[in-house]
């Protein structure tokens, strides 16, 4: 059996890595490193992570929509 050199684990959500990267991008753009978020007060941490999650979900939806659009363009008859 061949094991591929990949950071994505076989049972992991295929978009999981991208989602985490988008959340990290959001945190960094708002002046927080992912490692220091746990040190924030609970209310601030929750608000920040909720906003990061909404941001990541929106970007993932945009990426999916673009992928479907490109797929449709290439498979028109």
Number of domains making up the chain: 1
Tell me the C-alpha to C-alpha distance, in Å, between residue 32 and each of 26, 50, 63. 9, 14, 24
Confidence (pLDDT) at 2: 46
Confidence (pLDDT) at 1: 40
3-state helix, strand, coil in the chain (%, to 5): 65, 0, 35
pLDDT tens-digit series, residues 42-76: 999 999 999 999 999 999 999 999 888 787 778 77
In a domain, 10, yes or no: no
In a domain, 7, yes or no: no
Owning domain of residue 56: 18-23+35-74
In a domain, 54, yes or no: yes
Mean pLDDT across the chain, nearest whole number? 86
In a domain, 69, yes or no: yes
Residues 22, 28, 32, 35, Cα dihedral to 10°: 60
Which residue shows structure tokens 């945009």?
62
pLDDT band at 8 (very low <50, low <70, confident <90, very high): low
11 token code pair: 């049972």
In a domain, 28, yes or no: no
In a domain, 4, yes or no: no
């Amino acid at each position: 059996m061949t094991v591929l050199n990949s950071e994505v684990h076989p049972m992991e959500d295929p978009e999981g890595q991208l989602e985490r990267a988008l959340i990290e991008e959001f945190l960094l753009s708002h002046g927080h490193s992912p490692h220091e978020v746990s040190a924030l007060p609970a209310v601030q941490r929750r608000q920040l992570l909720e906003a990061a999650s909404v941001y990541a979900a929106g970007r993932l939806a945009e990426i999916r929509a673009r992928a479907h659009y490109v797929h449709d363009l290439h498979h028109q008859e």
